[in-house]
Chains A and B, each alone.
Chain A
Amino acid sequence: GAVVSQHPSRVICKSGTSVKIECRSLDFQATTMFWYRQFPKKSLMLMATSNEGSKATYEQGVEKDKFLINHASLTLSTLTVTSAHPEDSSFYICSASGTGAHEQYFGPGTRLTVT
């Protein structure tokens, strides 16, 4: 159980374009989903927390207008990187947790390269 999928696994886009990443919980209802970014040899950095049906809560320093998060259902959250720049190139990972649970289960990640 506790399977989380993420799509796409890898994307290359041009500077200035937007990229949408989907995160799905396949076998449980995820009341909360989290979006992280990880640079090489660094720890995961939480970008935002999203609860189904409400606006995402962004961490300090993360621009909400640049990283659009939608959590439309208990099994799907999307992250859209708008007007991507090369410095946005990173490994983006989502995670999901069920009601009352502290454990988070991670999607396989999306490696974004902006050229």
Chain B
Amino acid sequence: RKEVEQDPGPFNVPEGATVAFNCTYSNSASQSFFWYRQDCRKEPKLLMSVYSSGNEDGRFTAQLNRASQYISLLIRDSKLSDSATYLCVVNPSDDYKLSFGAGTTVTVRA
């Protein structure tokens, strides 16, 4: 079983729509969780960390469900510039290594 699994999508949504997707992780002892964004042929960029109580950053809301071992990302009022691949990232152990999901592709259309 992969450490981090994501629905690859693609999610095709119109501008202004809300889109949400999850990822699951296998290691119940995981401590840190992140969403990264990766544009085509570019490096990943940190979008937001995910905290136990859930957190919001502008139009982006992240939730963590430890009992079910999943993380979610919700994007409100989608913009064309939100089109990207969103990587679910988990720190599964005490060291600083990160495990990456394969990404969920979101395409926002005009």
Contacts and interface: CB of A to CB of B under 8 A. Distances in A.
| Binding partners A and B | yes
Interface of A: 32, 34, 41-44, 46, 49, 91, 93, 97, 101-109, 111
Contacts of A103: 34, 46, 49
B45 A106 contact: yes
B46 A46 contact: no
A49 B97 contact: yes
A108 B44 CA distance: 8
Given A34-B97, A43-B87, A46-B98, A106 B103 contact: no
Interface of B: 4, 31-32, 34, 41-46, 49, 87, 91, 95-98, 100-103
A70 B64 CA distance: 37
B59 to A, nearest CB: 21
A52 to B, nearest CB: 13
Given A34-B97, A102-B91, A104-B46, 16 more contacts: A34-B98, A41-B102, A43-B100, A43-B102, A44-B87, A44-B100, A46-B97, A46-B98, A49-B95, A93-B44, A97-B96, A102-B96, A103-B49, A107-B43, A108-B43, A111-B41
Contacts of B49: 103
Which of A34, A44, A46, A97 counts the most chain B CB atoms within 10 A? Answer: A44
Contacts of B98: 34, 46, 102, 104
Contact of B42 (A42, A97, A104, A109): A109
